């Protein structure tokens, strides 16, 4: 195995992989994007958000910690596996794009046989997590496999690969919800759609980094499709996302006992309002011709998403206490 240590464009020149990881392990960790952890968090956030939606009546409880940790391990394993699978298929294309040319398969640090073995290991970890889920959650998780398998091909076929990623990356909303709630509801499907639009927006921002290279090699993306209209398009996409999330969570709250509805709705408004501010800032302050600004705006979504989930998960508890204190 070669051990090239070329800088990978969107990883940051100093990260824990290149600073602390053993030399022989670095190409594998880079292949799974451990030097760019935001993808793990963006895969995990929908799982935790689905849990929070299911717990709008009381907020998270201690027994939910087991599922939260399972989803954390699952997100680490499956995002790494997805990136490995993607890079196996895209190794020739990656070599032609400046941002991806130094990925381990594209630069020869790893070969396909080594990457396939690493993929199998990560899938085994994901399978162990899957075994620990309730029956319905297992079935829902399995239903995502066609989305995952076909995603790397979408950028060769359609102009909307970011929309396909939205459907794929946010499947955890459904898994997290049914793990807690035990069944589907109309609100969770709307909630899932809201998160899918969120991903469509932030991945369009991300894709602007590769717009010129993608045009030269024939890769399709919403960044190329929207072009100079990206600011308005992303603003509309984020508006749809927030609207769906707010409506879905309010519908979920409306199904609760009357004594619990008000505290849940206050929590939903607080979480949605801050999330809307974060997304609005991205849509209207990002310069889409500046790759560094696009990357920075994209990375801000992990903070925005965690803030949203945290408020959605704890607000019912806080609002219940506040209403007791104020005598409402």
DSSP string, 71-121: HHHHHHHHHHHHHHHHHHHHHHHHTTSTTTTTSHHHHTSS-HHHHHHHHHH
pLDDT of residue 313: 87
pLDDT of residue 3: 46
Q: Would you say residue 8 has pLDDT above 80?
A: no
Q: What is the Cα gyration radius of the chain?
A: 20
Q: What is the pLDDT of residues 9-34, one digit of tens each?
A: 556 666 777 777 788 888 898 888 88
Question: In the predicted model, what is the mean pLDDT of the chain?
Answer: 88
pLDDT of residue 153: 84
Q: What whole-number distance in Å separates Cα of residue 316 and Cα of residue 268?
A: 9
Q: How confident is the model at residue 1 (pLDDT cuts 50, 70, 90)?
A: very low
Q: What is the pLDDT of residues 210-245, one digit of tens each?
A: 888 788 888 899 999 999 999 999 999 999 999 999
Q: Which two tokens stand for residue 290?
A: 């500046």
pTM: 0.89
Q: What is the pLDDT of residues 279-309, one digit of tens each?
A: 999 999 988 889 889 999 999 999 999 999 9
Please, is 202 exposed, middle or buried when counting C-beta atoms within 10 Å of its C-beta (0-12, 13-18, 19+)?
A: buried
Mean pLDDT of 142-153: 90
pLDDT-above-90 percentage for the chain: 58
User: Packing angle between helix 230-254 and helix 186-207, nearest 10 degrees?
Assistant: 160
User: Packing angle between helix 65-94 and helix 112-131, nearest 10 degrees?
Assistant: 160
pLDDT-above-70 percentage for the chain: 91
pLDDT of residue 272: 93
pLDDT of residue 103: 85
Q: Would you say residue 195 has pLDDT above 60?
A: yes
Q: Would you say residue 5 has pLDDT above 60?
A: no
Q: What is the pLDDT of residues 81-128, one digit of tens each?
A: 999 998 898 888 777 777 778 888 888 889 999 999 999 999 999 999
Query: Which is nearest to 54 in space by CA: 44, 67, 42?
Result: 67
pLDDT of residue 63: 87
Can you spell out the DSSP letters for 115-171? Answer: HHHHHHHHHHHHHHHHHTS-HHHHHHHHTTHHHHHHHHHHHHH-S-HHHHHHHHHTT
pLDDT of residue 325: 57
CA-based torsion, 83, 84, 90, 91: positive or negative: positive
Coil vs helix vs strand at 235: helix
Q: How confident is the model at residue 71 (pLDDT cuts 50, 70, 90)?
A: very high
* DSSP3 helix / strand / coil % (the chain, rounded to 5): 80, 0, 20
Q: Which two tokens stand for residue 159?
A: 């102009």
Q: What whole-number distance in Å separates Cα of residue 103 and Cα of residue 280?
A: 32
pLDDT of residue 58: 78
């Amino acid at each position: 195995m070669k051990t090239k240590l070329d800088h990978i464009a969107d990883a940051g020149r100093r990260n824990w992989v290149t600073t602390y990881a053993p030399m022989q392990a670095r190409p594998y960790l880079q292949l799974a994007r451990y030097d760019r952890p935001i993808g793990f968090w963006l895969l995990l956030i929908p799982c935790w958000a689905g849990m929070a939606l299911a717990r709008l009546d009381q907020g998270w409880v201690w027994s939910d910690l087991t599922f939260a940790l399972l989803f954390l391990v699952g997100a680490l394993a499956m995002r790494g596996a997805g990136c490995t699978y993607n890079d196996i298929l895209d190794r020739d294309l990656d070599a032609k794009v400046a941002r991806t040319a130094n990925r381990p398969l594209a630069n020869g640090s790893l070969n396909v046989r080594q990457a396939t073995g690493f993929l199998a290991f990560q899938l085994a970890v994901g399978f162990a997590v899957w075994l620990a889920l309730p029956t319905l959650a297992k079935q829902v998780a399995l239903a995502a496999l066609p989305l995952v398998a076909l995603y790397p091909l979408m950028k060769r076929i359609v102009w909307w690969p970011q929309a396909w990623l939205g459907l794929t990356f946010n499947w955890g909303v459904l898994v997290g919800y049914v793990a807690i709630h035990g069944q589907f509801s109309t609100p969770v499907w709307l909630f899932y759609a809201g998160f899918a639009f969120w991903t469509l927006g932030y991945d369009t921002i991300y894709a602007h980094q590769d717009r010129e290279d993608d045009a030269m090699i024939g890769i399709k993306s919403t960044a190329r499709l929207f072009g100079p209209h990206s600011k308005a398009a992303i603003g509309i996409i984020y508006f749809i996302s927030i609207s769906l999330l707010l409506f879905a969570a309010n519908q979920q709250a409306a199904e609760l006992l009357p004594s619990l509805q008000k505290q849940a709705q206050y929590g939903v408004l607080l979480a949605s309002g801050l999330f809307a501010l974060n997304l609005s800032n991205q849509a209207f302050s990002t310069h889409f011709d500046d790759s560094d600004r696009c990357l920075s705006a994209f990375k801000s979504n992990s903070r925005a998403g965690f803030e949203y989930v945290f408020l959605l998960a704890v607000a019912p508890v806080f609002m219940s206490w506040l209403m007791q204190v104020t005598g409402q």
